[in-house]
Amino acid sequence: MKNEQQKWRSFSGEFFDQPITGILEDAIIREQKAGHRLKVCVGSDSQAYNSHVEYATVIVVLREGKGGFMFMRNYKGTKQIGIKERMLKEVTMSVEVAYAICDILDKYNVALEVHADINTDPKFESNVALKDAMGYILGMGFVFKAKPYAFASSSCADKVV
């Protein structure tokens, strides 16, 4: 089975042919022109199956006090991996996207958070990756959020994986 990464798309299903940087910049310009104050949250989630793992990464654009919208893409991994490796793969996917868009967000003065679908409660399996994920995200200079505050990964990406 081949690794397949889809194009970025909107929640309504519209696929985009241009890079996410252009898509996001156009959206920021449009939203700021309409008078909205924005924040962007990036997160990923995954679902393990017997033969593979499916991932989703989302960019959630929040309009302060006025809802928001998101862009998403999916990725299909070819093999089953352990829980810690899977959680760190999700974080890596989110950090890569955050790094790709951070210059645009800085240009338009838009705050950025990276959300990890990792539980802060040690009795949950995903907690094994918490310290590594937090160190990676904070080390890259991004704002880190974990469950229950990581809605981009645990709610938004979870719905499209």
What would the pLDDT profile of 89-99 be if each residue is shown by its tens digit? 999 999 999 99
Q: Of the ranges 6-10, 40-44, 57-61, 100-104, which one carries the lowest mean pLDDT score? A: 6-10
Q: What are phi and psi of 2, to 5 degrees?
A: -90, 145
Question: Are 20 and 5 spatial neighbours (Cβ–Cβ below 8 Å)?
Answer: no
Residue 159 has pLDDT above 80, yes or no: yes
Question: Are 47 and 161 spatial neighbours (Cβ–Cβ below 8 Å)?
Answer: yes
Which range of residues forms the domain containing residue 82? Answer: 4-160
Helix or strand or coil: residue 65?
A: coil
Residue 146 has pLDDT above 90, yes or no: yes
Q: What are phi and psi of 37, to 5 degrees?
A: -90, 130
pLDDT digits (tens, 9 = 90+) for 28-82: 999 999 999 999 999 999 999 988 999 999 999 999 999 999 999 999 987 878 9
Question: Are 22 and 8 spatial neighbours (Cβ–Cβ below 8 Å)?
Answer: no
Place of tokens 């967000």: 105
pTM (predicted TM-score):
0.93
114 beta partners:
42, 144
Report how many domains make up the chain: 1
